[in-house]
Amino acid sequence: MGATYETRGKVAVITMDNPPVNGLGYDTRRGIADGVARAVADAGIAAIVLTGGGKAFSGGADIKEFGSPKALAEPNLLSLIKLLEDCPKPVVAAINGVCMGGGLELSLGAHYRVVAPGVNVALPEVKIGLVPGAGGTQRLPRVLGVETALNMIVSGEPVKSELLASVPGQKLFDRVIAEELLGGACSLAEAMAAEHAGGKPLPRVRDLKCTHPNADAYFQFARNMVKGMAKNFPAPAKCVDAVEAAVKRKFDDGMVYERELFLALMMTPECKALRHAFFGERAASKIPDVPEDTPVRPIAKVAVIGAGTMGGGISMNFLNAGIPVTILETKQEALDRGLGVMRKNYEAQVKKGKLKPEKLEERWALLKGTLSYDDIKDADLVIEAVFEEMGVKEKVFTTLDEVMKPGAILASNTSTLDLDRIASFTKRPQDVVGMHFFSPANVMKLLEVVRGKATAKDVLATVMQLAKKIRKTAVVSGVTDGFIGNRMIEQYSRQAGFLLEEGCTPQQVDKAIEKFGFAMGPFRMGDLAGNDIGWAIRKRRYVEKPHMRYSKTADLLCEMGRFGQKTGAGWYDYQPGKRDAIPSDVVVKMIEQHRAELGITPRKISDEEIVHRLVYSLVNEGAKILEEGIASKASDIDMVYLTGYGFPLHRGGPMCYADTQGLFNVVLAMKRFAANPHDDASFWQPAPLLARLAAEGKSFT
Ligand code: NAI
């Protein structure tokens, strides 16, 4: 399979056939090339129509082939496009459904293009850190005009075909055909065959002029815009360079330049990071021992227990996806409060113009509040989000076990408690799973799906599929204290504390890691989330694990009542009603005094050391999590950090970053840190997996 060939009168119809989106893998390219050769050789054929089977024309390169030699095997995409362009018989592209990346570039090799309305058209390469590499930057400006084309290339966003067809002077589409696309394409093909029968040359996009009335000023402007928007990524600026070449160079020179840019970008760490995230997102939904065809349980009704911070946000996800939710509370007052917060949240979206008022009402109509388990017993999925106390969870799960219909999935949003214990409160532990949302739950992309020792495979498959429906990136975690994300962040926080003891100020640490690309440093983050939360956790944890050394600085801060933004003071000072973090003399004095009590002479610590100590503490714990099988692959850990913890996308996540640095270098740095008397030598003992990979010259990913 790859492409099929049939004839309709004098027209040969080549249909790409590589589900789901006709990716341009080797077999498809071969199939198209063979079809063209056959049509050219057949004297009874006057013209060719190229179209896509199923729901797409073509989604572009076949991601299954990415990076393999097959991706470049002849006919590669460039030669295929040239083959269409040089074909002596008219080639009409009949564009249906989706036309993206290499698919759009391929269609630009055809002599004519007809399109259905509603087709998503895009050159999304910039999203994986590249410029389009098969002539997109040279041909699209010739048919759409420089500005519209550059806009599409720099943003990577899809645009509807009818909108593009309305661009004045556009030559991208010859016709928009609402019904019978293929029939229309064949008629055009026959007409064009007749028109060109006498030897009139066929139109080629490459021969069109590419001009801009004010090119220098325009490209300068475009460059300035792009610089501000994409500071950590090189590709958008290269898109501008490539399109400028379309205006200023001959077509063939422009093509060579585009290729050079494409190949150079391919080697950049930013491009590697983006591709890693792109594939990591897809890989996260695959669980090694859960086959992809595992039957899933239908989820038509959801119940949520607890209408607090998390319960409300969690419910909104399902309402937004059109799934009815019943939310249960113990008291009317708490229920009213919870529903009120949700309503306000929706109304704020309407005010900002992000949600239409009628949509709000549509969603709201799907929501019910109740105080009675009777009203939720027929739900297909129930998610518990009550207080984080085992006793409370026990009561809830015992009741759920009694009332819920057989086969209902019983999920807990616990962030720190043992899911296996929670499952043991029921007689159906196979139906119990963790769904650990992040706050605010209606906004944050990440969902950790916690797999208990008894969780059934079809429960996991169902939850992973449901996660896609509510637009979450779901990552499976085994049962462990803090799951993947919080277990790692604990080490990062410990290390941040040691940095203060040794000589840093909170803002020095925050600045260094923010310059590295984190959305927020650990201390600003603590002030936002509330320092009292970590305090409560430490009180519990370090009583249980007295051998684990940590800096007491954060406890001293809490003893001063400085819980963060909510108390107007934390690691930083805050002015009433404002969120700007102002360095605090009081805090700096407190840290200095504590340091003196510990007998530490402060030293100047470089930004590089700060960043590496913080990030490698994530990496080392990540390696342990991987080795214990808590995460099934390194990219899962990276997805947790990219989608839930503000890790900079252009670094690809902690494990990807460690690979980029070289694990050998990571281990060397850790040995250096371990020799520091004020750090904790046991902290920097490399995880066995990390040590082994480094010794063997291997990487995590
Ligand atoms: P919250 O205190 O805002 O809300 C808990 C709600 O549960 C309250 O409205 C309370 O009235 C209700 N509730 C208590 N016992 C109940 C019962 N037996 N039946 C029905 N409702 C009951 O707490 P929050 O922050 O929403 O946390 C809920 C759960 O989510 C906890 O397990 C927490 O660890 C977890 N979590 C919290 C995150 C956060 O950032 N706040 C993040 C991820 C998980």
The protein residue with its alpha carbon nearest to ligand 1, atom 40, reads: 439
pLDDT classification of 504: cutoffs 50, 70, 90: very high
pLDDT of 387 strictly over 90: yes
CB of residue 328 inside a 6 A radius of ligand 1: yes
CB of residue 387 inside a 6 A radius of ligand 1: yes
pLDDT value at residue 66: 77
Rounded distance between C-alpha atoms, residue 701 and residue 690, angstroms: 12
- Ligand 1 centroid–CA 456 distance in Å is 25
CB of residue 434 inside a 6 A radius of ligand 1: no
pLDDT classification of 315: cutoffs 50, 70, 90: very high
Percent of the chain at pLDDT > 70 equals: 100
**What dotted CATH number matches 302-477?**
3.40.50.720
pLDDT classification of 181: cutoffs 50, 70, 90: very high
pLDDT of 67 strictly over 80: no
State the architecture of 485-695 in CATH terms. Orthogonal Bundle (1.10)
- Ligand 1 centroid–CA 551 distance in Å is 29
Provide mean pLDDT across the span 171-188: 97
CB of residue 439 inside a 6 A radius of ligand 1: yes
Percent of the chain at pLDDT > 90 equals: 93
Rounded distance between C-alpha atoms, residue 77 and residue 88, angstroms: 19
What count of other Cβ atoms lies within 10 Å of the Cβ of residue 55? 13
Q: Tens digit of pLDDT for each residue in 239-265? A: 999 999 999 999 999 999 999 999 999
pLDDT value at residue 108: 98
CB of residue 304 inside a 6 A radius of ligand 1: no
Least confident of 96-100, 396-400, 528-532: 528-532
pLDDT classification of 65: cutoffs 50, 70, 90: confident
Provide mean pLDDT across the span 437-444: 95
pLDDT classification of 536: cutoffs 50, 70, 90: confident
The protein residue with its alpha carbon nearest to ligand 1, atom 4, reads: 308
Q: Tokens 């209408």 map to which residue?
A: 307
Provide mean pLDDT across the span 94-115: 98
Contact 385, 305 (CB under 8 A): yes
- Ligand 1 atom closest to 312 (CA): 26
The protein residue with its alpha carbon nearest to ligand 1, atom 8, reads: 308
pLDDT value at residue 228: 84
pLDDT value at residue 546: 75
Least confident of 61-75, 377-391, 475-489: 61-75
pLDDT value at residue 412: 98
- Ligand 1 centroid–CA 387 distance in Å is 4
pLDDT value at residue 701: 86
pLDDT value at residue 71: 85
CB of residue 392 inside a 6 A radius of ligand 1: yes
CB of residue 530 inside a 6 A radius of ligand 1: no
| CA distances (Å), origin 77, targets 70, 132, 145, 162 | 11, 12, 24, 26
CB of residue 329 inside a 6 A radius of ligand 1: yes
pLDDT of 301 strictly over 80: yes
Q: What share of the chain is helix, strand, coil (3-state, %, to 5)?
A: 50, 10, 35
To test the ligand 1 pocket, which listed residue (336, 386, 394, 415) has its Cβ within 8 A of the most ligand atoms?
A: 386
Give the catalytic positions in this structure: 105, 125
**275 Cβ contact partners less than 8 Å away, ≥ 6 residues apart:** 66, 128, 129
User: What stretches of 559-612 adopt beta strand conformation (E)?
Assistant: 572-573, 582-583
Rounded distance between C-alpha atoms, residue 656 and residue 278, angstroms: 13
**CB burial class (10 A; 0-12, 13-18, 19+) of residue 668?**
middle
Tokens of 132: 């389009």
In our burial notation (b when 16+ CB lie closer than 10 A, e otherwise), range 29-39 reads bbbbbebbeeb
pLDDT of 291 strictly over 90: yes
Provide mean pLDDT across the span 89-107: 98
- Ligand 1 atom closest to 392 (CA): 18
Higher pLDDT, 465 or 547: 465
Least confident of 104-108, 348-352, 553-557, 679-683: 679-683
pLDDT classification of 60: cutoffs 50, 70, 90: very high
- The sheet that has 381-384: what strands, in order across it? 367-370, 325-328, 302-305, 381-384, 409-412, 432-437, 446-451, 473-478
pLDDT value at residue 56: 97
pLDDT classification of 677: cutoffs 50, 70, 90: confident
- Ligand 1 centroid–CA 312 distance in Å is 10
The residue extents of the domains of the chain are 3-265, 302-477, 485-695
pLDDT of 545 strictly over 80: no
CA atoms within 13 A on the CB side of 338: 30
- Ligand 1 centroid–CA 528 distance in Å is 19
- Ligand 1 atom closest to 307 (CA): 9
CB of residue 386 inside a 6 A radius of ligand 1: yes
Q: Read off the pTM.
A: 0.92
| CATH fold of the domain at 3-265 | 2-enoyl-CoA Hydratase; Chain A, domain 1 (3.90.226)
pLDDT value at residue 140: 98
The protein residue with its alpha carbon nearest to ligand 1, atom 16, reads: 386
To test the ligand 1 pocket, which listed residue (341, 376, 387) has its Cβ within 8 A of the most ligand atoms?
A: 387
CB of residue 342 inside a 6 A radius of ligand 1: no
- Ligand 1 atom closest to 393 (CA): 18
Contact 103, 24 (CB under 8 A): yes
CB of residue 334 inside a 6 A radius of ligand 1: yes
CB of residue 330 inside a 6 A radius of ligand 1: yes
pLDDT value at residue 114: 98
Which of 303, 343, 347 has its CA nearest to residue 325? 303
pLDDT value at residue 68: 83
Bridge partners of 404? none
Q: Tens digit of pLDDT for each residue in 651-674? A: 999 999 999 999 999 999 999 999
Rounded distance between C-alpha atoms, residue 633 and residue 276, angstroms: 12
For the chain, the average pLDDT equals: 96
Rounded distance between C-alpha atoms, residue 221 and residue 374, angstroms: 63
To test the ligand 1 pocket, which listed residue (331, 415, 439, 442) has its Cβ within 8 A of the most ligand atoms?
A: 415
Tokens of 330: 């113990």
pLDDT value at residue 538: 86
Provide mean pLDDT across the span 96-106: 97
CB of residue 371 inside a 6 A radius of ligand 1: no
Task: Give the three-state DSSP class for 120.
Answer: strand
Bridge partners of 12? 7, 48
- Ligand 1 centroid–CA 189 distance in Å is 64
